[in-house]
């Protein structure tokens, strides 16, 4: 094929040069009606496929390398999906009620469940659709071929697939995976986290490549700009080989300096913390130089066959806090879109989960779950390095109700003679316009703020980030967004509390410089990005960042703000700016 360019979303940085390897067999969706006499046969075929997929995943779990043991839990969760009634029983019902073949029924069911998860605002929860899609792909392939799915070449190559799960990657020789390209996925998917941990360049949302490319065609993956070059010429190869060498040298330097504090060249220190979702990720944290954990997502424990009990939560949380002493860990309480995604809860029929019963609303409605989690957090709080953060807060009363519950639990735990922190630090995620507008009142009654930039932009700009027609409005430098950020930071500091930013934008070099100029106290991101973020901060001047922020806050011209930021960072970082990923210059206008 002639030289061609495709665009994707950078998920794991780096440059990969190699040959295309399809991770899955190409399977055409079968949409076939059946007779009533064929129903039993099609249902049995689906049951057999589910049993085979569970067995194959069990084998994969047993063979997970010891240094990647945390992904065994992820694969085990996919085994549960393969037997989950929401998936299998729903597909079986479709076969009998709609008189359609197993493959078609499966596709409709998977699409429905994926749509549910993708409608959620939290990127971590949204990317759980990948787990469902991955199981669906395995089931679909077995229905068509009667065989397992991974027969990809053992030669070095760049994996290309509709989607990939950690199980797919684990079944390969990891030393031979040079890069990953998928049509689905996202930055908080399990495969994204795995690829960053393994330092494999990865782009998601790559459209058109699967249909256009052939096996063993040469490829270049630019994990910074999101560019894929198919059939590159000699000039391309020479250019990207040099870029890869330069990047690897830069990355090695940032790793060697990762333990140094993130202090600007004029002496302003900023905490750079990690975002985590399981205790098993602690092994990668020490080398990153992270100043503790700014966001520990607690949802993963709830996406299993049954809900966790208090002792299970205590064990999980204690492993995290003891492993990080004396550094602090901020635990975000359960943030789900509606109890239909908790397998042990009855389903709600919410037309718009993004604006429904999620975050603190869900927890206060289901206080049995909330109290169990709070008790576990208070018990491990005796270590002295635990803080609790409430998501999706919109009213002062939600904070006050939580305070009252903590007081009641303190009395319970005291009467049971269980050691605990009676009044652990309690913070609020500022991620809704309502919270932003009353943040002065919230700051008077909580201990810290954490800004969730993903949701805050979504709600402020009145957009659905999954809707490509309005993707151009997902604009961090919109005056409404930057002025809201400054308002929140100033309100926190007036009351003497710290404010951090835990959204994906914290690792964007342009936004990071802007946040420093606004006076943010801490930022948190994936451990993979932390050494580079700390290195970047050490090259910036806080006073210059303050002037930049002042100019951006005064202006209304987004393009001019971007030019200012780019010019200043180019002066501060030089060619190193190309080694950071940014979404600010990838927005497509309608």
The sign of the CA dihedral 317, 318, 324, 329 is positive
Distance CA 249, CA 231 (A): 26
For the chain, how long is the longest CA-to-CA vector?
Answer: 78
Strand 329-332 relative to strand 448-451: parallel, antiparallel, unpaired?
unpaired
Total Cβ atoms within 10 A of residue 554: 10
Give the angle subtended at the CA of 430 by the CAs of 260 and 124, to the nearest 5°.
75
- Going from the C-alpha of 346 to that of each of 304, 339, 341, 342, the distances in angstroms are 15, 7, 9, 8
Clarify whether 545 is annotated catalytic: no
Nearest-angstrom CA–CA distance, 117 and 341 = 8
Catalytic choice (502, 535, 545, 580): 502
Q: What is the DSSP letter of 33?
A: B
Helix (H) or strand (E) holding 532: helix 530-539
**Which tokens belong to 46?**
């689906």
Nearest to 429 by CA among 527, 333, 293: 333
User: CA torsion 437→562→470→189, rounded to 10°?
Assistant: -90
Tell which residue, 367, 382, 372, 369, has the closest CA to residue 418: 382
DSSP element (H, E) containing 500:
strand 498-501
Question: Which phi and psi angles does 349 have, rounded to 5°?
Answer: -110, 80
Among 52, 190, 458, 580, the active-site one is: 190
* Cα→Cα distances 120→69, 176, 214, 356, 506, Å: 28, 35, 35, 10, 21
In the residue annotation, 366 being an active-site residue is answered as no
Phi-psi region of 279 (alpha: psi -120 to 50; beta: other; left: phi over 0): alpha
Asked if 425 and 448 touch (Cβ cutoff 8 Å), the reply is: yes
Catalytic center residues: 190, 502
């Amino acid at each position: 094929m002639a030289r061609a360019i495709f665009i994707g979303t950078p998920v794991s940085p780096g440059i990969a040069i190699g040959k295309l390897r399809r991770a899955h067999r190409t399977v055409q969706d079968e949409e076939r009606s059946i007779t009533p006499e064929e129903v039993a046969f099609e249902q049995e075929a689906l049951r057999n496929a589910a049993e085979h997929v569970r067995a194959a995943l069990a084998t994969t779990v047993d063979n997970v390398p010891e240094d990647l043991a945390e992904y065994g839990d992820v694969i085990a969760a996919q085994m549960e999906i393969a037997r989950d009634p929401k998936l299998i029983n729903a597909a079986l019902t479709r076969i009998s009620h709609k008189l359609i073949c197993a493959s078609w029924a499966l596709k409709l069911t998977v699409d429905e469940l994926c749509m549910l998860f993708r409608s959620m605002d939290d990127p971590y929860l949204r990317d759980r659709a990948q787990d469902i899609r991955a199981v669906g792909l395995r089931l679909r392939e077995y229905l068509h071929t009667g065989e397992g799915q991974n027969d990809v070449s053992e030669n070095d190559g760049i994996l290309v697939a509709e989607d990939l799960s950690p199980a797919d990657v684990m079944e390969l020789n990891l030393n031979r995976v040079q890069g990953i390209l998928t049509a689905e996925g996202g930055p908080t998917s399990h495969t994204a986290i795995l690829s960053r941990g393994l330092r494999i360049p990865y782009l998601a949302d790559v459209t058109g490549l699967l249909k256009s490319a052939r096996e063993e065609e040469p490829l270049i993956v630019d994990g910074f700009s999101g560019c894929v070059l198919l059939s590159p010429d000699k000039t391309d190869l020479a250019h990207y080989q040099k870029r890869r060498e330069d990047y690897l040298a830069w990355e090695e330097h940032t790793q060697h300096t990762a333990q140094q504090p993130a202090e600007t060249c004029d002496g302003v220190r900023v905490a750079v913390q990690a975002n985590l979702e399981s205790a098993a990720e602690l092994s990668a944290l020490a080398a990153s130089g992270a100043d503790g954990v700014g966001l520990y997502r607690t949802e993963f424990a709830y996406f299993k066959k049954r809900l966790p009990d208090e002792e299970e939560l205590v064990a999980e949380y204690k492993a995290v806090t003891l492993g990080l002493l004396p550094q602090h860990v901020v635990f975000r309480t359960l943030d789900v879109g509606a109890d239909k995604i908790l397998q042990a809860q009855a389903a709600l029929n919410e037309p718009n989960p993004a604006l429904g019963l999620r975050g603190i609303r869900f927890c206060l409605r289901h206080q049995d779950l909330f109290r169990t989690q709070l008790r576990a957090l208070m018990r491990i709080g005796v270590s002295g390095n635990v803080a609790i953060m409430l998501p999706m807060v919109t009213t002062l009363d939600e904070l006050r109700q939580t305070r009252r519950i903590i007081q009641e639990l303190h009395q319970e735990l005291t009467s049971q003679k269980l050691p605990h922190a009676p009044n652990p630090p309690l913070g609020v995620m500022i991620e809704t316009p309502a919270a932003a507008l009353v943040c002065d009142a919230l700051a008077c009654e909580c201990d810290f703020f954490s800004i969730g930039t993903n949701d805050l932009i979504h709600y402020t700009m009145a957009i659905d980030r999954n809707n490509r027609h309005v993707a151009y409005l997902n604009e961090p430098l919109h005056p409404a967004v930057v002025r809201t950020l400054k308002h929140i930071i100033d309100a926190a500091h007036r009351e003497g509390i710290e404010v951090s930013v835990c959204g994906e934008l914290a690792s964007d070099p342009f936004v990071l410089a802007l946040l420093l100029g606004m006076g943010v106290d801490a930022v948190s991101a994936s451990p993979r990005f932390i050494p580079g973020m700390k290195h970047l901060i050490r090259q910036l001047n806080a006073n210059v960042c303050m002037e930049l922020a002042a100019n951006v806050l005064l202006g209304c011209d987004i393009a001019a703000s971007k030019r200012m930021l780019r010019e200043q960072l180019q002066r501060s970082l030089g060619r190193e700016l190309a080694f950071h990923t940014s979404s600010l210059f990838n927005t497509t206008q309608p």
